[in-house]
Structure 1
Amino acid sequence: MDRKTDIIDIKTLEQVPTVESIRKIQRERTLKLVFDNSLNNQREKIGKNLERELSGFQVGIHTIEPEINIRKLITDKEIEDNQDFFEECAKNYRLLGEKLLFKLVNNLDLKLNKDFPLETFNKLKQDKRQTGRIENWRYFVHGFHCGFENNKTAQIIEVPLVFGLEFGDLDPYFFTRFIKSTPKYLPLPVEIHEDYADGVRINEKMISLGKFEKISSNVGNHYGIVVTDREKVEIKSHEQLDKLYKERNKEIEKPKFDFWKFIRLKK
């Protein structure tokens, strides 16, 4: 659903809406404050103050246009009332991500590094296999993810590659895009207007409810968020992988046993 925009021209400071009045705006509407040139030098200060005061809102201070855009984000109550829905979405995300990834691995005849899948998929970035098609899906390897888009339904999912065999990491932006592009979820039981900002609030509230939890990744100082009710898998840390690779390299660098040299030394 597209939001309607209410525009207020600000020619004097007295025309700036109070925090109390802004809190009453509906999620279906955007409030746009357009500042007169004489007040534009105070616009950023006013915007920063609104950011501090308006918890649960997105306050956008435009860098070029003389305006501030204010949007109410999904509320704690809306998330709590729909927690079963978001939990189901998270479980489906995990299942579909795993299914598509292994389908691609088999299709391309890849030898998957189960401890660190990114190593396997990074090699695809060096040739023409970085993008392609598999059945009804178009795929694209990028960053820490392999993205998939269904050619028929337009469903979108980004499968993480830095959590071992855990493919259910719920990046807030990718998670909400998955929800909004999945036909069987439509119409949504609750509107998601801001893909990233609403996604962050959904994840944070679901963690507080015990439905989601944080996990560490293969990459240092990087974590993910997954559904709590799942079959847990081991995720090796950056330190564990580093140690593992060093041990493997030592094995590779060991001189091969020379049987004939051994015989000569015995003589």
Structure 2
Amino acid sequence: MNRTTDIKTINSVGQIPTLDTIRSTPRERTIKLVFEKEVQSQREAIGQNLKTELVGFQVGIHTIEPEINIAKLITDKEIEDNQGFFEQCAKDYRQLGEELLFKLVDKLDLKLNKDFPMETFNKLKRDKRQIGKLENWRYFVHGFHCGFENNKTGQMIEVPLVFGQEFGDLDPYFFTKFIKSTPKYRPLPVEIFEEYADGVRINERMLSLGKFERISSNVGNHYGIVVADRQKVEIKSYLDLEKMYQEQNKQTEKSKFNFWKFIGLKR
């Protein structure tokens, strides 16, 4: 479903819709406030106030154009009413991510570092295998992920590489992109319009419901979110990995060892 936008020209502060009016706007509609010269100097302060007052809304203060864009986000009730759906999506994400990653490992004949998959996939960034094809999928290794897009269905998934063999981390943007691009979920039981902001709200509410839980990463100060109902796997911390690699270094009698350089994260 496409959203429609109500455009309101603002010549005076009194023309700004009331908070109650904005709150009553359905999610299928957005509001664009276009400020004329007389009130443009007040736009930033008005926008900041709207951000404070409108909980559950996305308020965007344009950095160039004299406008403020307001969109209602997915509600707690909508998430609660569809918690079973989002939980199943998270399980499907985890299963498909693991399946595709191991297929790619087999195709490229990689020796997977099961404690820290990113160490294995970082090597692909140095040659022509960073981008390629796997059956009906196109893959692309980047950042902390290996992305896959199905050439036939358009389904997209980003498989995390920094949680050991836990491949179900639900980045809010990637998770909603996966949901919206998966053919079997259509039509969606609840609309997702703002892929990142709605994704954040879905994750936060599912955490509070006990359906999702937080996990630590192989990388310091980096965390993830996964479905709670799963077969849990061990995730080594970056301190555990550093200690392990230092022990390996002693055994090989190398004179100097930099863990972060070794795993492809210069430090």
Which of the five TM-score ranges fits, normalised by the shorter chain?
over 0.9
User: How far did residue 17 of structure 1 move?
Assistant: 1.2
TM-score relative to the length of structure 2: 0.95
**What fraction of aligned residue pairs are identical, expressed as a percent?**
76
What whole-Å deviation, never above 9, does each CA across 1:172-216 have from its counterpart, x for those lacking one? 000000000000000000000000000000000000000000000
2:259 maps to what in 1? none
Higher radius of gyration, 1 or 2: 1
2:159 maps to what in 1? 159
2:116 corresponds to which letter in structure 1?
Answer: F
Mapping of residues 16-95 of structure 1, within 5 Å: 16-95=16-95
Taking the aligned partners of 1:85 and 1:169, their CA distance within structure 2 comes to: 17
User: How far did residue 41 of structure 1 move?
Assistant: 1.0
Taking the aligned partners of 2:18 and 2:218, their CA distance within structure 1 comes to: 46
SS of structure 2 residue aligned to 1:68: strand
Taking the aligned partners of 2:85 and 2:48, their CA distance within structure 1 comes to: 34
What whole-Å deviation, never above 9, does each CA across 1:110-167 have from its counterpart, x for those lacking one? 0000000000000000000000001100000000000000011000000000000000
User: How far did residue 254 of structure 1 move?
Assistant: 7.4
Would you say 1:6 and 2:6 are equivalent positions? yes
Taking the aligned partners of 2:37 and 2:62, their CA distance within structure 1 comes to: 14
Taking the aligned partners of 2:52 and 2:139, their CA distance within structure 1 comes to: 41
Mapping of residues 83-162 of structure 1, within 5 Å: 83-162=83-162
What whole-Å deviation, never above 9, does each CA across 1:65-102 have from its counterpart, x for those lacking one? 11000000000000000000000000000000000000
SS of structure 1 residue aligned to 2:218: coil
Mind listing any 5+ residue stretches in structure 2 that lack a counterpart?
Answer: 256-267
1:261 maps to what in 2? none
SS of structure 2 residue aligned to 1:31: strand
Number of equivalences: 255
Taking the aligned partners of 1:224 and 1:177, their CA distance within structure 2 comes to: 17
SS of structure 1 residue aligned to 2:55: coil
SS of structure 2 residue aligned to 1:111: coil
2:248 maps to what in 1? 248
Mind listing any 5+ residue stretches in structure 1 that lack a counterpart?
Answer: 256-267
